[in-house]
A and B are shown apart, each in its own frame.
Chain A
Amino acid sequence: MERFSFIFLVAGILFFVLAFAVSGWIPMLTVQHLEVRTVEQMAEQPPLEFAELKADYPEAFAKAYGDVSDSQAFADALRTGHKTYIGEACWHCHSQQIRPWGNDEARYGRKSFPEEYHNELNMPPLWGTRRIGPDLIRRGGKQSNDWHVAHFYNPPDVNPVSVMPSYPWFFEEDGLTPNKKGLSIIAYVQWLGSWIPTVDETIYEVPFIEETYPPAVLNRPSRPLDSEGTEGTDENPTDTPTEDGDDFWE
């Protein structure tokens, strides 16, 4: 009995609490000063792609979100899209987290930093642990809405080698018009990374690449190295060096 209570209290409770403190609570303190942003706050200014959705699919849009202001509709879209993203387990094939190593930055863009996850849609965060498809956290705006419509309906139509499942239930019967789920998931994906001032994240913005990679690779203007089926735009290639995630700390 004595021994049981010792095991129970020390191993069962004390060690657990200790570990929670070290790897849970102390990291929490480092982001204590940040305010958790609500969906409404983030939805105040819907991105261009959302307005396009509204213009392209007015009926479906009205049916999905009702007669509300654009930012209210966008908040609704973000919530629904987020829920769909979780329920369909997109996060088990796509990460939303760019590491500072393994050439992630060259592939996907600027590395992740704590502030961008401090919001309602990252409770819990959708970092993911497996990349069968590409990372999505900088993917917003990289493809047109139309591309996404075609892609979600049947990915191999767009990219023959794709192993991404098709999602016909994101669409009305006609298979052309996205329904509420479809509109929302597109809005959600297009929103990812839209908070980064320079959306264009080609490899040119990553300084270290230049030493590492031969000019032949660097000077392929129409096809940036991430090439996840993306046609990259190369305006504004150099000037401002990427702000490092760490600089956001203070």
Chain B
Amino acid sequence: MSEPQSSALSTTAAEAPLVRRDLVKWHVIAGVSWLAIALFAGLFYSLQLLQSWPLPKIAVLSPGRIRLIHTNLIAFGFLTNAFLAMLYWTVPRLTGLRVASKKLGWLIYAAWNGIILATWVGLHLGEAQAVEWGETPVWVDPLVVVGAILVWIQFYTPIVKTKEKALYVTLWYFSAGFVWLGLTYIMGNFFPEYLVAGNAAGPLLGLYIHDLVGLWVTPMGWGMMYFFVPILLKKPIWSHALSLVGFWGLAFFYPLQGVHHFLGSPIPMFAQYSAVVSTIAVEIVVTTVVINFFMTWKGSEATLKTSIPIRWFFLGALNYAITCFQCAFQVTLTFQQVIHFTDWVVGHAHLVMFGVFSFWIFGMIEHLWPKLTGHNWRSESLRRWSFWLTALGLWGMFLTLTVSGLIEGFMSMNLVPRETILQTMTPFWLVRTITGISIISGFACLVVNMVLTARAGRIAHIDTDYSPYEDVEQGEVAIGAV
């Protein structure tokens, strides 16, 4: 294992620990639990497309509602919980300060998971709001804003107070990401619902879908990658300057692209063209992240064999490179004619949300879980199974959906009857279900291993490496050295 050894810091026992491990751990657990539900929701929905929906006649489990649950639990249940865990781990280490308050921590925990629970129930009851990826019922929306504000208080406190002269790039992403989350949510969920209609509201929906990815998931994900990769590889990031170019590029170009989700709609063409141009521009900028990762990784190729966390980060970065390459093409109107409204887009969404950000989160969990439980991973082979099943499943899914999307798009353009299209899609959808099963099996391996590892404690196998006050890891020296 290449995980760095931990060393205890000279914190006196009376003082509260710098890092709130319990919060990290429980956010990981919550995130993984929501992911389990979300994955099964996805699998079930894929059965509907094979005309074999297992639970007919039950209104609350209607396939359409299940689809909403799939996407919403991924966004708010899994990703957001995992990112909160990541924040509780990283922010105190990077600032040298505690988060605002432990009590606030548990309040945020309860609030966010309460919001997700309410969303989950609400969607089952058919209370959705017509905002893609923000279908949270309207009566939950104000709570989300409150939740975001609590997150600001919790994490801005150490970031503002820190005495570090230069903020590491991870903190740049966090500093902007929190406020973006709040603004994006307000824009997407309140404006189109209450203030503007039709063509005035459409662009805001596009902005919302896009900004939730680009201004919440992406900054958290990049910040996470920039934190963990140097630690795992035990060397500084290749270019600090490049990471800053990446940051400002993201901040400037990303929010301008929302309209590209509705190319061809009645939105005025100047807005559509501006979205297309800025999307192509941002590809150049996101390449900086990819370059930075691979240049940092260069020279440590052997870690791919020895370290599972690095494998997750590596594959995530590779998928990221592919996603970005894809974006620059698929946003052009030439491509849009064909692929909009098809499976291609679904494949793209899975590649970036699952293949990149979730993979990086898996890398983080692989790295942190032994530290959080105090035990080494129970089963090495389960770790490998988890990696390969998930990775191959995702790749199979991405390729299938991309191909079927192209076929569907061209058939649709060529005025092929819907029935023929549906029949043509069926084999692809079958493969997609199988890849989904593969992903779920990989995930099950991870969960089983997590449980086994955590329970090892009851058999009194205490890891001597573990110290509740362990705050500094060798890798962080590397970060400091930049």
Contact = CB atoms under 8 A, between A and B. Distances in A.
Interface of A: 1, 3-4, 7-8, 10-13, 15-16, 18-20, 22-24, 26-28, 30-31, 34, 36, 83-84, 86-93, 95, 97, 99-104, 106-107, 112-114, 116-120, 122-134, 156, 159, 161-163, 165-169, 225-229, 245
Contacts of A36: 197-198
B274 A31 contact: no
B201 interface: yes
B312 interface: no
B422 A163 contact: yes
Contact of A114 (B59, B63, B199, B251): B199
Interface string B43-55: 0000011110100
B265 A159 contact: no
B44 to A, nearest CB: 11
B56 interface: yes
A119 B199 CA distance: 10
A228 B172 CA distance: 51
A109 to B, nearest CB: 13
Given A36-B198, A101-B333, 6 more contacts: A4-B167, A11-B248, A11-B252, A16-B215, A97-B266, A129-B132
Interface in B297-345: 333, 336-338, 340-342, 345
A116 B266 CA distance: 10
B201 A107 contact: no
B415 A106 contact: yes
A120 B197 contact: yes
Interface stretch (B5-13, B187-195, B221-229, B377-385): B187-195
Contact of B345 (A11, A83, A89, A130): A130
Interface in B240-281: 247-248, 251-252, 255-259, 261-268, 270-271, 274-275
A139 B424 CA distance: 24
A193 to B, nearest CB: 14
Interface string B195-226: 01111111111110000000100000000000
A129 B345 contact: yes
A147 B65 CA distance: 24
Contact of B176 (A1, A8, A126): A8
Closest 4 CB pairs of A and B: A117-B198, A99-B264, A87-B126, A19-B255
Contacts of A86: 128-130
Given A156-B51, A166-B56, A118 B62 contact: no
Nearest to A121: B197
B264 A101 contact: yes
Given A117-B198, A168-B57, A228-B418, A124 B131 contact: yes
Given A24-B204, A27-B271, A163-B422, A101 B65 contact: no
Contacts of A106: 415
B67 A15 contact: no
B114 interface: no
A16 B183 contact: yes
19 contacts: A11-B176, A15-B252, A15-B255, A16-B215, A20-B207, A20-B255, A27-B268, A28-B200, A28-B203, A102-B338, A104-B264, A107-B412, A125-B199, A126-B130, A127-B262, A130-B346, A162-B51, A168-B57, A229-B419
B62 A165 contact: yes
Given A27-B199, A27-B271, A92-B67, A127 B265 contact: yes
B198 A26 contact: no
A23 B265 contact: no
Nearest to A118: B198
Nearest to B127: A87
Interface in B175-189: 175-176, 178-180, 183-184, 187
- Count chain B CB atoms within 10 A of each CB in A24, A117, A120, A126 and give the residue with the most: A24
A4 B251 CA distance: 14
A123 B196 CA distance: 7
B200 A31 contact: yes
A7 B176 contact: yes
Contacts of A125: 130, 192, 197-199, 201-202, 205
B160 interface: yes
B198 A31 contact: yes
